[in-house]
Amino acid sequence: MSSPNSDERVLTYAQAIAEAIQQEMARDPDVFVMGQGVDDAKGMYGTTLGLHEEFGADRNFDVPLAEDAMTGIGIGAALAGLRPIQVHQRMDFLLLCMNQLVNMAAKQSYMFSGAHAVPLVVRAVIGRSWGQGAQHSQAFHSYFMHVPGLKVVAPTTPHDVKGCLIAAIRDNNPVVFVEHRMLYGFKGIVPEEAYEVPFGQARRLTAGSDVTIVAISHMVVEALRAGHLLAERGIGAEVIDPVSLAPLDIGTIAASVRRTGRLLVVDNGWLSCGASAEIVSQVVERLQGESTFRVKRLGYLATPCPTTRPLEQIFYPTSRSIALAAHELVHGAGAPAWTIAQDDPREIVEFKGPF
Protein backbone atom coordinates (compact mmCIF):
# COMPACT_ATOMS: atom_id res chain seq x y z
CA MET A 1 0.00 0.00 0.00
CA SER A 2 1.34 3.44 -0.82
CA SER A 3 0.35 7.08 -0.74
CA PRO A 4 1.21 9.94 -3.12
CA ASN A 5 4.07 10.93 -0.82
CA SER A 6 6.75 8.23 -1.03
CA ASP A 7 7.81 9.14 2.51
CA GLU A 8 4.38 7.92 3.68
CA ARG A 9 4.53 4.54 1.97
CA VAL A 10 3.05 1.84 4.22
CA LEU A 11 4.21 -1.79 4.30
CA THR A 12 3.62 -4.68 6.65
CA TYR A 13 6.45 -5.98 8.80
CA ALA A 14 6.70 -9.06 6.54
CA GLN A 15 6.77 -6.94 3.38
CA ALA A 16 9.51 -4.77 4.86
CA ILE A 17 11.65 -7.86 5.51
CA ALA A 18 11.01 -9.16 2.00
CA GLU A 19 11.96 -5.82 0.46
CA ALA A 20 15.18 -5.61 2.47
CA ILE A 21 16.27 -9.07 1.33
CA GLN A 22 15.30 -8.46 -2.31
CA GLN A 23 17.17 -5.16 -2.45
CA GLU A 24 20.31 -6.61 -0.89
CA MET A 25 20.25 -9.68 -3.14
CA ALA A 26 19.94 -7.40 -6.17
CA ARG A 27 22.77 -5.19 -4.90
CA ASP A 28 25.20 -7.92 -3.85
CA PRO A 29 25.44 -11.29 -5.65
CA ASP A 30 27.13 -12.78 -2.58
CA VAL A 31 23.88 -12.57 -0.57
CA PHE A 32 21.79 -15.74 -0.50
CA VAL A 33 18.95 -17.21 1.59
CA MET A 34 18.70 -20.72 3.00
CA GLY A 35 16.06 -22.16 5.30
CA GLN A 36 13.14 -24.51 5.70
CA GLY A 37 10.29 -23.45 3.44
CA VAL A 38 11.89 -20.27 2.09
CA ASP A 39 10.97 -21.25 -1.48
CA ASP A 40 7.48 -22.60 -0.87
CA ALA A 41 4.14 -20.95 -1.60
CA LYS A 42 4.01 -19.20 1.79
CA GLY A 43 7.60 -18.02 1.67
CA MET A 44 8.22 -17.85 5.42
CA TYR A 45 5.22 -15.68 6.33
CA GLY A 46 5.67 -13.84 3.03
CA THR A 47 9.22 -12.71 3.78
CA THR A 48 10.93 -14.77 1.05
CA LEU A 49 8.19 -14.96 -1.58
CA GLY A 50 9.44 -15.16 -5.16
CA LEU A 51 13.14 -14.87 -4.37
CA HIS A 52 13.92 -18.24 -5.97
CA GLU A 53 12.10 -17.12 -9.12
CA GLU A 54 13.96 -13.80 -9.32
CA PHE A 55 17.42 -14.94 -8.25
CA GLY A 56 17.43 -18.68 -8.91
CA ALA A 57 17.36 -21.79 -6.77
CA ASP A 58 21.03 -21.46 -5.87
CA ARG A 59 20.39 -18.19 -4.02
CA ASN A 60 17.10 -19.02 -2.24
CA PHE A 61 16.71 -22.66 -1.33
CA ASP A 62 15.08 -25.08 1.09
CA VAL A 63 17.21 -27.05 3.56
CA PRO A 64 16.68 -30.29 5.50
CA LEU A 65 15.85 -30.56 9.20
CA ALA A 66 19.52 -30.41 10.19
CA GLU A 67 20.05 -27.14 12.05
CA ASP A 68 23.58 -27.89 13.23
CA ALA A 69 24.80 -28.97 9.80
CA MET A 70 23.08 -26.13 7.97
CA THR A 71 24.54 -23.56 10.35
CA GLY A 72 27.97 -25.04 9.67
CA ILE A 73 27.34 -24.58 5.95
CA GLY A 74 26.30 -20.98 6.59
CA ILE A 75 29.44 -20.27 8.62
CA GLY A 76 31.62 -21.88 5.98
CA ALA A 77 29.97 -19.86 3.23
CA ALA A 78 30.48 -16.67 5.23
CA LEU A 79 34.16 -17.49 5.82
CA ALA A 80 34.48 -18.03 2.07
CA GLY A 81 33.24 -14.50 1.38
CA LEU A 82 29.52 -14.99 0.86
CA ARG A 83 26.75 -13.35 2.92
CA PRO A 84 24.24 -16.02 3.92
CA ILE A 85 20.84 -15.36 5.50
CA GLN A 86 19.83 -18.48 7.40
CA VAL A 87 16.12 -18.65 8.25
CA HIS A 88 14.82 -20.56 11.27
CA GLN A 89 11.04 -20.88 11.53
CA ARG A 90 11.39 -21.15 15.32
CA MET A 91 14.12 -19.85 17.60
CA ASP A 92 13.62 -22.94 19.79
CA PHE A 93 15.72 -24.97 17.38
CA LEU A 94 18.71 -22.66 17.50
CA LEU A 95 19.54 -24.78 20.54
CA LEU A 96 20.54 -27.52 18.10
CA CYS A 97 23.28 -25.33 16.64
CA MET A 98 24.58 -23.55 19.74
CA ASN A 99 28.12 -24.86 19.32
CA GLN A 100 28.24 -23.57 15.75
CA LEU A 101 26.98 -20.12 16.74
CA VAL A 102 28.69 -19.65 20.10
CA ASN A 103 32.02 -21.44 19.62
CA MET A 104 32.51 -21.05 15.89
CA ALA A 105 30.71 -18.07 14.34
CA ALA A 106 31.12 -15.71 17.30
CA LYS A 107 34.84 -16.32 17.80
CA GLN A 108 36.42 -16.55 14.36
CA SER A 109 37.28 -12.87 14.00
CA TYR A 110 38.77 -12.73 17.52
CA MET A 111 40.78 -15.94 17.15
CA PHE A 112 42.31 -14.83 13.87
CA SER A 113 42.93 -11.16 14.78
CA GLY A 114 40.30 -9.92 12.37
CA ALA A 115 41.71 -11.78 9.36
CA HIS A 116 38.45 -13.74 9.02
CA ALA A 117 34.87 -12.49 9.19
CA VAL A 118 31.55 -14.35 9.51
CA PRO A 119 28.89 -12.12 7.88
CA LEU A 120 26.04 -14.49 8.74
CA VAL A 121 22.48 -13.39 9.49
CA VAL A 122 20.43 -15.88 11.49
CA ARG A 123 16.73 -15.02 11.28
CA ALA A 124 14.95 -16.62 14.24
CA VAL A 125 11.18 -16.48 14.75
CA ILE A 126 9.76 -16.28 18.28
CA GLY A 127 6.30 -16.04 19.83
CA ARG A 128 3.08 -17.89 20.38
CA SER A 129 0.39 -17.00 17.82
CA TRP A 130 -1.77 -20.12 17.89
CA GLY A 131 -1.02 -22.15 21.00
CA GLN A 132 2.28 -23.70 19.97
CA GLY A 133 3.26 -24.74 23.45
CA ALA A 134 6.40 -25.52 25.39
CA GLN A 135 8.83 -26.33 22.54
CA HIS A 136 7.70 -23.91 19.83
CA SER A 137 7.00 -20.59 21.57
CA GLN A 138 10.25 -19.76 23.31
CA ALA A 139 12.51 -16.72 23.00
CA PHE A 140 16.21 -17.20 23.71
CA HIS A 141 17.58 -13.79 22.79
CA SER A 142 19.20 -13.42 26.23
CA TYR A 143 21.29 -16.55 25.57
CA PHE A 144 22.94 -14.83 22.62
CA MET A 145 23.23 -11.43 24.32
CA HIS A 146 25.62 -13.20 26.70
CA VAL A 147 28.14 -14.08 23.96
CA PRO A 148 30.81 -11.62 22.76
CA GLY A 149 31.06 -11.69 18.98
CA LEU A 150 27.34 -12.10 18.35
CA LYS A 151 25.06 -9.16 17.63
CA VAL A 152 21.39 -9.49 18.63
CA VAL A 153 18.60 -7.31 17.26
CA ALA A 154 14.82 -7.49 17.75
CA PRO A 155 13.18 -4.64 15.79
CA THR A 156 9.46 -4.02 16.22
CA THR A 157 8.39 -1.52 13.57
CA PRO A 158 8.33 -2.20 9.81
CA HIS A 159 10.66 0.78 9.34
CA ASP A 160 13.23 -0.60 11.75
CA VAL A 161 12.99 -4.21 10.62
CA LYS A 162 13.91 -3.24 7.04
CA GLY A 163 16.76 -0.97 8.09
CA CYS A 164 18.09 -3.39 10.72
CA LEU A 165 18.02 -6.33 8.31
CA ILE A 166 19.93 -4.39 5.67
CA ALA A 167 22.46 -3.35 8.34
CA ALA A 168 22.73 -6.99 9.48
CA ILE A 169 23.33 -8.29 5.97
CA ARG A 170 26.09 -5.72 5.41
CA ASP A 171 27.68 -6.33 8.83
CA ASN A 172 30.81 -8.47 8.93
CA ASN A 173 29.78 -10.08 12.22
CA PRO A 174 27.22 -12.83 12.87
CA VAL A 175 23.83 -11.33 13.74
CA VAL A 176 20.94 -13.13 15.48
CA PHE A 177 17.88 -11.42 14.02
CA VAL A 178 14.80 -11.89 16.22
CA GLU A 179 11.32 -11.71 14.64
CA HIS A 180 8.04 -12.21 16.51
CA ARG A 181 5.47 -14.01 14.37
CA MET A 182 2.67 -11.78 15.68
CA LEU A 183 4.40 -8.74 14.16
CA TYR A 184 4.34 -9.85 10.52
CA GLY A 185 0.98 -8.22 9.79
CA PHE A 186 1.64 -4.89 11.51
CA LYS A 187 1.92 -1.88 9.23
CA GLY A 188 4.15 1.17 9.24
CA ILE A 189 5.87 3.78 7.14
CA VAL A 190 8.81 2.31 5.20
CA PRO A 191 10.95 4.26 2.70
CA GLU A 192 11.38 2.57 -0.66
CA GLU A 193 15.13 3.11 -0.95
CA ALA A 194 17.64 0.89 0.84
CA TYR A 195 18.74 2.28 4.19
CA GLU A 196 20.39 1.09 7.38
CA VAL A 197 19.14 1.43 10.95
CA PRO A 198 22.32 1.36 13.04
CA PHE A 199 22.61 -1.07 15.92
CA GLY A 200 22.94 0.30 19.44
CA GLN A 201 20.32 3.03 19.09
CA ALA A 202 17.04 2.64 20.97
CA ARG A 203 13.79 4.04 19.59
CA ARG A 204 11.53 6.28 21.72
CA LEU A 205 8.05 5.60 20.36
CA THR A 206 6.01 7.76 22.75
CA ALA A 207 6.88 10.56 25.16
CA GLY A 208 5.79 10.59 28.79
CA SER A 209 6.88 12.05 32.11
CA ASP A 210 5.57 9.54 34.66
CA VAL A 211 7.02 6.13 33.80
CA THR A 212 9.51 4.65 31.34
CA ILE A 213 8.36 1.39 29.75
CA VAL A 214 11.11 -0.51 27.92
CA ALA A 215 9.54 -3.28 25.86
CA ILE A 216 11.13 -5.93 23.64
CA SER A 217 9.79 -7.11 20.27
CA HIS A 218 6.01 -7.73 20.30
CA MET A 219 5.78 -6.45 23.87
CA VAL A 220 6.22 -2.98 22.35
CA VAL A 221 2.75 -3.35 20.83
CA GLU A 222 1.28 -4.35 24.20
CA ALA A 223 3.13 -1.47 25.88
CA LEU A 224 1.69 1.03 23.39
CA ARG A 225 -1.79 -0.31 24.11
CA ALA A 226 -1.08 -0.07 27.85
CA GLY A 227 -0.13 3.56 27.25
CA HIS A 228 -3.69 4.25 26.09
CA LEU A 229 -5.07 2.72 29.29
CA LEU A 230 -2.63 4.68 31.45
CA ALA A 231 -3.47 7.94 29.69
CA GLU A 232 -7.09 7.49 30.80
CA ARG A 233 -5.76 7.58 34.39
CA GLY A 234 -3.65 10.66 33.72
CA ILE A 235 -0.36 8.74 33.57
CA GLY A 236 2.11 9.56 30.80
CA ALA A 237 4.15 6.53 29.70
CA GLU A 238 7.34 6.87 27.67
CA VAL A 239 7.62 3.68 25.58
CA ILE A 240 11.11 2.74 24.40
CA ASP A 241 12.01 -0.03 21.98
CA PRO A 242 15.68 -1.03 22.43
CA VAL A 243 15.67 -2.37 18.82
CA SER A 244 19.21 -3.66 19.32
CA LEU A 245 19.86 -5.91 22.33
CA ALA A 246 23.58 -6.44 21.72
CA PRO A 247 24.87 -3.77 21.45
CA LEU A 248 22.41 -2.21 23.90
CA ASP A 249 21.66 1.52 24.09
CA ILE A 250 21.48 2.10 27.83
CA GLY A 251 22.09 5.82 27.42
CA THR A 252 18.66 6.52 25.91
CA ILE A 253 16.91 4.35 28.50
CA ALA A 254 18.81 5.85 31.45
CA ALA A 255 18.07 9.40 30.25
CA SER A 256 14.36 8.59 30.21
CA VAL A 257 14.45 7.00 33.66
CA ARG A 258 16.31 10.04 34.96
CA ARG A 259 13.30 12.13 33.86
CA THR A 260 10.47 9.82 34.95
CA GLY A 261 11.93 8.22 38.07
CA ARG A 262 10.28 4.88 37.23
CA LEU A 263 11.32 1.96 35.01
CA LEU A 264 9.18 -0.95 33.84
CA VAL A 265 10.91 -3.49 31.57
CA VAL A 266 8.65 -5.88 29.65
CA ASP A 267 10.45 -8.80 28.04
CA ASN A 268 9.41 -11.44 25.54
CA GLY A 269 11.18 -14.06 27.62
CA TRP A 270 11.77 -15.32 31.14
CA LEU A 271 12.95 -12.91 33.82
CA SER A 272 15.74 -14.96 35.39
CA CYS A 273 19.10 -14.01 33.82
CA GLY A 274 17.16 -12.36 31.00
CA ALA A 275 17.28 -9.22 28.91
CA SER A 276 15.14 -7.38 31.47
CA ALA A 277 17.67 -8.13 34.22
CA GLU A 278 20.50 -6.82 32.05
CA ILE A 279 18.65 -3.62 31.21
CA VAL A 280 17.76 -2.92 34.83
CA SER A 281 21.25 -3.66 36.13
CA GLN A 282 22.90 -1.41 33.55
CA VAL A 283 20.49 1.45 34.32
CA VAL A 284 21.19 1.04 38.05
CA GLU A 285 24.94 1.15 37.41
CA ARG A 286 24.53 4.22 35.21
CA LEU A 287 22.31 6.20 37.62
CA GLN A 288 23.43 5.03 41.06
CA GLY A 289 24.31 7.92 43.32
CA GLU A 290 22.77 10.34 40.85
CA SER A 291 19.08 9.48 40.65
CA THR A 292 16.56 7.53 42.74
CA PHE A 293 14.01 5.52 40.82
CA ARG A 294 11.63 2.59 41.17
CA VAL A 295 11.89 -0.57 39.06
CA LYS A 296 9.65 -3.47 38.02
CA ARG A 297 9.94 -6.24 35.43
CA LEU A 298 7.39 -8.30 33.51
CA GLY A 299 7.99 -11.32 31.29
CA TYR A 300 7.27 -15.01 30.99
CA LEU A 301 6.19 -16.74 34.20
CA ALA A 302 8.62 -19.33 35.59
CA THR A 303 7.10 -22.27 33.73
CA PRO A 304 7.32 -23.69 30.20
CA CYS A 305 5.19 -21.91 27.60
CA PRO A 306 1.56 -23.14 27.74
CA THR A 307 -0.64 -24.11 24.83
CA THR A 308 -4.21 -23.24 25.81
CA ARG A 309 -5.58 -19.73 25.33
CA PRO A 310 -6.66 -19.24 29.00
CA LEU A 311 -3.17 -20.15 30.24
CA GLU A 312 -1.56 -17.98 27.57
CA GLN A 313 -3.52 -15.00 28.86
CA ILE A 314 -1.94 -15.51 32.27
CA PHE A 315 1.54 -16.47 31.04
CA TYR A 316 2.29 -13.61 28.65
CA PRO A 317 2.33 -9.91 29.60
CA THR A 318 -0.61 -8.02 28.11
CA SER A 319 -1.70 -4.40 27.87
CA ARG A 320 -3.72 -4.95 31.04
CA SER A 321 -0.89 -6.42 33.13
CA ILE A 322 1.56 -3.80 31.83
CA ALA A 323 -0.82 -0.94 32.65
CA LEU A 324 -1.46 -2.26 36.15
CA ALA A 325 2.27 -2.67 36.83
CA ALA A 326 3.00 0.85 35.60
CA HIS A 327 0.12 2.24 37.66
CA GLU A 328 1.56 0.63 40.80
CA LEU A 329 5.02 2.01 40.02
CA VAL A 330 3.58 5.52 39.76
CA HIS A 331 1.27 5.44 42.78
CA GLY A 332 2.97 2.88 45.02
CA ALA A 333 1.63 -0.21 46.73
CA GLY A 334 -1.01 1.82 48.54
CA ALA A 335 -2.46 3.17 45.31
CA PRO A 336 -6.24 3.27 44.84
CA ALA A 337 -7.50 0.02 43.32
CA TRP A 338 -7.74 0.02 39.55
CA THR A 339 -9.75 -2.67 37.85
CA ILE A 340 -9.26 -3.22 34.12
CA ALA A 341 -11.96 -5.46 32.74
CA GLN A 342 -10.06 -6.50 29.62
CA ASP A 343 -6.96 -5.86 27.57
CA ASP A 344 -6.97 -2.75 25.44
CA PRO A 345 -8.76 -3.74 22.21
CA ARG A 346 -7.35 -0.98 20.01
CA GLU A 347 -5.32 -2.10 17.07
CA ILE A 348 -1.88 -0.62 16.49
CA VAL A 349 -2.62 -0.15 12.80
CA GLU A 350 0.41 1.81 11.66
CA PHE A 351 3.78 2.71 13.14
CA LYS A 352 4.08 6.31 11.99
CA GLY A 353 7.37 7.35 13.58
CA PRO A 354 9.08 9.68 14.10
CA PHE A 355 11.88 7.81 12.42
Catalytic residues: 67, 136
| DSSP-assigned letters across all residues of 270-294 | ESTTSHHHHHHHHHHHHHTTT---E
User: Which of left, alpha, beta for 149 (phi over 0: left; psi -120 to 50: alpha)?
Assistant: left
DSSP letter assigned to residue 193:
S
**3-state secondary structure (DSSP) of residue 248:** coil
C-alpha distances out from residue 144 to 273, 312, 336, Å: 12, 25, 41
Secondary structure percentages of the chain, helix, strand, coil, to 5: 40, 20, 45
Q: Which residues contact 302 (CB under 8 A, 6 or more apart)?
A: 270, 271, 272
Give the span between the Cα atoms of 36 and 51, in whole angstroms: 14
Give the span between the Cα atoms of 297 and 341, in whole angstroms: 22
**Cα angle 349-351-352, degrees, rounded to a multiple of 5:** 115
Determine the longest span between alpha carbons in the chain, in angstroms. Answer: 64
β-strands 10-12, 203-204 pairing:
unpaired
Q: H/E element holding 297?
A: strand 294-300
CB 25 within 8 Å of CB 53: no
C-alpha distances out from residue 139 to 89, 175, 268, Å: 12, 16, 7
**3-state secondary structure (DSSP) of residue 227:** helix
